[in-house]
Structure 1
Amino acid sequence: IYSYTWHSISGIHHFKAIATDRSGNSSESSVATLQVNESEEGIEEGIEEGIEEGIGEYDDECDTTTEYVEGEEGVFEGSSEDSYCEEYTATNYKHVSEGRAVACGSFNLYACAIGSDEELGYNNYFTTTTVYESPEGYFSTEQCSKTTKVVSNAVNASACYYVDKEDALMAFAKLMAYVRFYHPSDEVQDIDWDMFATYGVSQIESVKNNLQLKNLFRKMFHPIAPSMEISGTIKSTEIPSDLAIEKQVAWNHYGFGYGYGWQGSEYTLYTNEREYVAPGAGTGDFPSVDYVTDDLGAGITIDMPIVLTAGSKSSVTKNYTTYPEGSPLVLSAVDTSYKNKYARIAGVMEAWGIIQHFYPYFYVTGIDDWSAVLPQYIEEARNATDKVAYAAVLKRMLANLQDGHVFVMYEGMTYTSMPFLTELAEGKVVIRDVMDSVKNELSPGDIIVEVNNEPVEKALVEVEKTLSVAYSKRRHIAPFYLFNYGTVIGETMNVTVEKENGSRINKTYTMNTDNLAVVYTKYETKYDKITELEDGIWYINIDKLTDDDVSEVVDTLQSAKGALLDMRVYPESGAAWSLISYIADGEHTSPPFYIHINNMPDRTATRKEEITQTFPSLTPKIDIPLVLMIEQGTQSAAETQASMFKATGNVTVVGRPTTGANGNITGFFVLGSQEEGGFEVTFTGMEVTGYDGKPHQTIGVTPHIPVEKTIDDVREGRDEIFETALDELKSMINE
């Protein structure tokens, strides 16, 4: 609440702006001193200057948008303003098409006025009615007039001031996510959120002051959340007195699912449902409070119910209705494709809201305020006019999560590569393999020093901004994403390469799909998935095993001296689970897995449900020296399995730390599904820790024996992890 004080000494008036919050705490601006005359105009000029100095820029258009309420709002004692009243005479069909009424009744044959819900008659071209709009957005047949309201005191209880667009959009993003995920009204369930968000963004573009913003939010949110207080105003608290069955209803979020299934699967571990209980019978899954209060910024405060009354007037039905009931929400149709800048901004805001309320790893990321990241990407989204550019904006925003499960996909997305495969060695970008088409000019071990006449490090930094893995691990994979994981066919790069003898060549190369053949060599090994390397020493490629191969592996290793277990990429089956049971000495478990259960916004009351898995011990035991090979390509389920191999105490781990991204994946659509021209986004939906309870995310599984790649390793075609692991295995056998 904003007000002012002033006093006069010899014609010098001293004005001070005062801000008072809901708890009665006040803060004052510095004194603004101005010499004015004793007229009403002079006093008002001082008020404006005091508000501007203490609160923000005073908007000259406020006088035409202020909602004057006697004793609460005004500029100066005795000032006046006409109350809002507009008259419309038209056919009912036109009332509906222009947003003053909605189709209603049986088969939508009738028209009902928005706000009052009055039935106006048949919805056709022939029935003509007159409706009045007062206040703005409320239509009825009750005649209104533009009467003058006179303010009875000199207190400006809702000072009108300029609102920064960034602050307004941030307030909208927060409020939209609050209502979408935690206000349990029936009306909320029917909203097309892409349409809703895009419309809101488009309207905020023309908002100039806090009162216009408040009016916009009331127009958009009160029909679906009528009992939510928006900056002091509630639309309705009416609950029928004749309910035969009465319940309380609130959201219970078991992770974030909303029906999303990874790669089209209908299965999802996560559920998001409204829970109905008898009044006062809420369980641990029910909110501990009925309302949440927040200052959203931009002059907007809310008291939002997160528990509502629900019930039925019939004692035999369980089709409950939530109360107070809302009203039809009528918004102008807007383009929700990525081609519309307002839709692009809306999509970023929706993604931000989902992460804000459901990401389980904020404690690992070091992000204290997720809100602080949004403004940058709103501006980037505004200027990202094609699919590739917009997907990059989403990637950059979500890269702040350091979550290796973040993927952004869209229809028509095609992976491309340069005609050479790269990796990092000794901090340099080194060519590991080449296509036949460039063998005359490039060789394994060549070092890339420049891209487009700039140091290659500059290009790597830009790529790293889109990679959602731990900051410490981005440089290791950045060369691959720069040169071998492109999405634009025909993209060219001018590349400068330094040869082993120090000479340099400079040439332009093109990204295309044919070059992906060189990428596949990254995952090739010299040996079959079950191979005897030397007498009694076996190589087992766990990544390639099928479930049917497990019995053969177990039988083979009964008489073996030792075995190398290769798990450097994602496994193609669940064979590893079984193998661990043959290695572990007894019953064993996975690392701890936790579903986050939320029934209040902003993860303020998160409960954790542990779903750790237990596995039996199987026989015959594999009781020989074993060495497991891992690196950053070991991710997700493979990390769980690597942790379990390591935890048996019977396996030595060699290689490089894994990605550090574990927990069942979940996701959502931005501006529609891929088939609808939108974007599919995934992230980690649950928390997984190490056996010791310490974080796994961003850290991964660390090897007992770390191995780094050298440039000579690349030039000589050595598999440095394999060679180190084999040496260690032989040493163990000979002990």
Structure 2
Amino acid sequence: MLIKKTLILFLLLFPLLVLGQLNNRQIRNLTAFAKIYGYVQYFHPSDENKLEIWEGVAINGSKSMMKVDNDDELIVELRKIFLPIAPTIRITLTRQKESFSIDRLKPDISDGYKEISWQHLGFNLYSGISERPYKSIRLNRTPVVGNDRNMQIPLTGTYDVSAYRGLKYDFSLTTRVKRKDGGPTELKIVSGKDSIELKTTETEVHHFTGTINSSAELIAFELAADPSIPLSVDKPVFKIIDGEKSLSPQEISTATKKASGKLRKVTFEIIDPNYALYDQKLKFGEYLDKEVVKGVSIVMPLVLLGNRSSTYPVAGGKVNGSTDLNYNRISAFEHNEIRIADVIMLWNILKHSFPYMDDVKINQEHLLAKILQEASSAKTHTTYIKVIERMCSFYNDAHMFISIKGMEPSYTIPISLIRADNKIVVKDVSDKRLMDSIFPGDIILKVNGIPVGKQVDTLIQYVSGSKQKKDLLTMNRLLNGKKNEKVEVTLLRHEDTHKIEIERTKVAQDYTAGNAGYLQKENGWAAPGTYYFDLTRNSLTDQNFELLKTAKSIIFDLRGYVFDQTISTDLVPALLRDTLSTVRFFNPKILYPDLEHLSFHPGPETYLPNIKNRLTQQVIFLTDASAISASESLLGLIKDFKLGTIIGEETAGTNGDVNIAYLPGNLIVYFSGMLFKNSDGSKHHLNGVLPDIHVGQSRKSIENREDLVLKKAFQVIRERWSGQK
């Protein structure tokens, strides 16, 4: 009887064991760990808080949380993980919580100490893409990346080093620090891993060494420095060291054929530890006091004191930031601890920096628990991707998409769909072999026997963005699946139902321009006096402007993403009579965790009239939900300042610069890192740019291959012309 009961219990528990379900204890442990992880990584300013440790801490910490059985063990384990990084934090049972004491943060001798705290302008996630506008620094500490006001200044010309491959080189330059207002100046000159402090006002010669690599052709040296920094740099000397000999490479002319070879630039960056991103800063004595899970609390200072050698106090113990897994060469789905670490890292990035958190309608702790559970259960590549897509969907951000190593492309059948008359309708058929069995205007009723409405309800759970953008992406994904699989599609055509099996042979794409397929047109005279120009497939050149100036009316098609991201700076000035100034982009200024006391750094825009390319005639823009980001930047100006008439449907409702999270296991997640508003300060996110005249396609127009949006534009033009007559 005992054996039978044991067998029954095992069978009941077997699905949980197989699927790797987390129990309530593990969820509690991981939640506490996740919250402290984010607080310490982004807001504790100790010198032990180094960029390179955090992937390992996330992986090892996630793994250790699985083995903790009670809160006493949890506190011991959390202290073991975080005290070597943040020795001033206090992790305790809430009932035993210690009061914050500023005296613990003061060294016995305070001379030479400065206040160290974090400033974030967005989150610098160190993607290696220098033009991202996001910065993260610790005040009074050398930044990991330099001053955004730096200018690139050539120190030398270009040298041909192809004959010196494998040899060492010595590069020297002379510096002199100028004291500012009679006070001391603390500067560093940094090149790669080499860092030299510039302490005195005397002239100093500094030497930097390296090796000419085996494929080197050309080399040049440059300085990256803020012109306002009080420093002179002079007398650069480049020498090749060949045993006992010192050789001077030949500097070549940029006009020679050889100058077109592969060029490596060696950059010397001048770092000012006193550099700040903005005026606001935390004050010594400010601290964080949070209950991370019910019954477990953390008290953590947000400002420390530090001298030249360390922040106070110095931590003891070893940071567990390394792992046996080479997690940058594997996919995340292969190991449970990497899947969980990815969720924790991404959740914290968004929790503390996502500028549209007001539009996230789920409690963050509930979301974390839900996604941790799903990530732990994901045993296939496809399932894990779905988990991350599901997580992203709650943020309602159409900039959000993911990439992961080993991600196989989806395939679809060679037709495109559109929503018309509140039905899902065949828009185009791209395979001639199907043109006798499926037709534009056919209504999709079922896919593989499942009603299409039910399919859409399922798919939309894995799409992030506004209502209109989610609907568009769902149309693009409705027929997706594995390559060469057959799909049974049930269609309605003129009150008759048809079933057809179609093979998935076409690589699926999430993005499709709204004016694709039968709606695509070439630039040209669409009617006498009316010129049609497709901004999703063409740039505007001076030659184009000369042609456009001869038209009586212009139709710009922006049903999709702009072909040229500089289109706003090209086209808007041509539509202006006076200077246009506005502020629409806002970078988050993050000092406190959980987006508390959040403020923003405005990004002003100014457009000056371009008299040469001025367009004074009637201008109409066509648009829909496939217009996103840079397209909305242009359309927003058209709408806000009445520079033309917009016809069509709402745009995607997603703008502002993208940030990029690189996570263990080769998972990359893109998201909106910057807030965007309309010029009058009203909300753009999710709403999009609203057309002046709302028009969409109908099932009948698709069947008859008509473009109702373009047709409406012609009607508006005729009415304008007749009114002028």
TM-score (norm 2): 0.71
2:106/2:312 contact within 8 Å kept = no
Cα offset, 1:327, TM superposition: 2.9
Q: What does residue 357 of structure 1 align with?
A: 352
Residue identity in the other structure for 1:357: H
1:592/1:610 contact within 8 Å kept = yes
CA distance in 2, matches of 1:576, 1:711: 34
Q: 1:386 to 1:195 in 2, by over 3 A?
A: farther
Residue identity in the other structure for 1:194: E
Identity fraction in percent: 23
Q: What does residue 398 of structure 1 align with?
A: 392
Secondary structure at the counterpart of residue 130 of structure 2 = coil
Q: What does residue 604 of structure 1 align with?
A: 596
Residue identity in the other structure for 1:580: V
Cα offset, 1:363, TM superposition: 2.0
Alignment of 1:236-315 (within 5 A): 237=104, 241=108, 245-260=112-127, 265-276=129-140, 284-288=279-283, 289-312=285-308
1:391/1:679 contact within 8 Å kept = no
Cα offset, 1:250, TM superposition: 0.8
2:373 pairs with 348, 367, 379, which one? 379
Alignment of 1:167-566 (within 5 A): 167-231=28-92, 232=97, 237=104, 241=108, 245-260=112-127, 265-276=129-140, 284-288=279-283, 289-312=285-308, 321=311, 323-330=313-320, 333=323, 335=325, 336=327, 337-367=332-362, 369-413=363-407, 414-434=409-429, 435-471=431-467, 473-483=469-479, 486=480, 488-507=482-501, 509-510=503-504, 512-513=506-507, 523=516, 530-546=523-539, 549-566=540-557
Q: 1:479 to 1:525 in 2, by over 3 A?
A: closer
CA distance in 2, matches of 1:479, 1:354: 30
Cα offset, 1:561, TM superposition: 1.3
Secondary structure at the counterpart of residue 503 of structure 1 = strand
CA distance in 2, matches of 1:601, 1:722: 49
CA distance in 1, matches of 2:275, 2:646: 52
2:514/2:624 contact within 8 Å kept = no
Which region of structure 1 is more displaced relative to structure 2, 710-719 or 634-643? Answer: 710-719
Residue identity in the other structure for 2:687: I
Residue identity in the other structure for 2:597: A
Q: 1:494 to 1:326 in 2, by over 3 A?
A: farther
CA distance in 1, matches of 2:588, 2:482: 38
Choose 1 or 2 for highest CA Rg. Answer: 1
Q: What does residue 148 of structure 2 align with?
A: none
Secondary structure at the counterpart of residue 705 of structure 2 = coil
Residues 182-234 of structure 1 show CA distances to partners (whole Å, capped at 9, x for unaligned) of 11112221553232222222222221211011111011111111110111589
Residue identity in the other structure for 1:258: L
Cα offset, 1:474, TM superposition: 2.4
2:437/2:500 contact within 8 Å kept = no
Q: 1:222 to 1:516 in 2, by over 3 A?
A: closer
Secondary structure at the counterpart of residue 423 of structure 1 = strand
Which region of structure 1 is more displaced relative to structure 2, 216-225 or 286-295? Answer: 286-295
CA distance in 2, matches of 1:581, 1:612: 16
CA distance in 2, matches of 1:523, 1:590: 33
Secondary structure at the counterpart of residue 543 of structure 1 = coil
CA distance in 2, matches of 1:326, 1:545: 60
CA distance in 2, matches of 1:238, 1:517: 52
Q: What does residue 711 of structure 2 align with?
A: 723
Which region of structure 1 is more displaced relative to structure 2, 281-290 or 167-176? Answer: 281-290
Residue identity in the other structure for 2:59: T
Residue identity in the other structure for 1:296: V
Alignment of 1:36-47 (within 5 A): none
2:68/2:74 contact within 8 Å kept = yes
Cα offset, 1:664, TM superposition: 0.5
1:680 pairs with 658, 668, 673, which one? 668
Secondary structure at the counterpart of residue 572 of structure 1 = coil
Q: What does residue 660 of structure 2 align with?
A: 667
Q: What does residue 46 of structure 1 align with?
A: none
CA distance in 2, matches of 1:575, 1:525: 25
Q: What does residue 641 of structure 2 align with?
A: 648
CA distance in 1, matches of 2:296, 2:669: 30
Secondary structure at the counterpart of residue 307 of structure 2 = strand
1:227/1:324 contact within 8 Å kept = no
Residue identity in the other structure for 2:535: I
1:163/1:208 contact within 8 Å kept = no
1:592 pairs with 584, 588, 598, which one? 584
Secondary structure at the counterpart of residue 634 of structure 1 = coil
Secondary structure at the counterpart of residue 604 of structure 2 = coil
- RCO higher in 1 or 2 (8 Å CA, sep ≥ 6)? 2
Residue identity in the other structure for 1:196: V
Q: What does residue 90 of structure 1 align with?
A: none
1:653/1:705 contact within 8 Å kept = yes
2:562 pairs with 558, 563, 571, which one? 571
1:665/1:682 contact within 8 Å kept = yes
Aligned residues: 554
1:580 pairs with 551, 572, 576, which one? 572
Q: 1:225 to 1:511 in 2, by over 3 A?
A: farther
Cα offset, 1:294, TM superposition: 0.3
Q: 1:525 to 1:561 in 2, by over 3 A?
A: farther
CA distance in 1, matches of 2:642, 2:319: 62
Q: 1:295 to 1:446 in 2, by over 3 A?
A: same
2:556/2:621 contact within 8 Å kept = yes
Q: 1:520 to 1:294 in 2, by over 3 A?
A: closer
Residue identity in the other structure for 1:687: L
1:565/1:626 contact within 8 Å kept = yes
Structure 2: 5+ residue runs without aligned partners? 1-22, 142-183, 185-273
CA distance in 2, matches of 1:537, 1:463: 41
Cα offset, 1:355, TM superposition: 0.3
Cα offset, 1:544, TM superposition: 2.5
Residues 510-533 of structure 1 show CA distances to partners (whole Å, capped at 9, x for unaligned) of 2543x7799789625777654112
- Cα root mean square deviation, aligned: 3.0
Residue identity in the other structure for 1:248: E
CA distance in 1, matches of 2:356, 2:511: 35
Residue identity in the other structure for 1:656: E
Secondary structure at the counterpart of residue 478 of structure 2 = helix
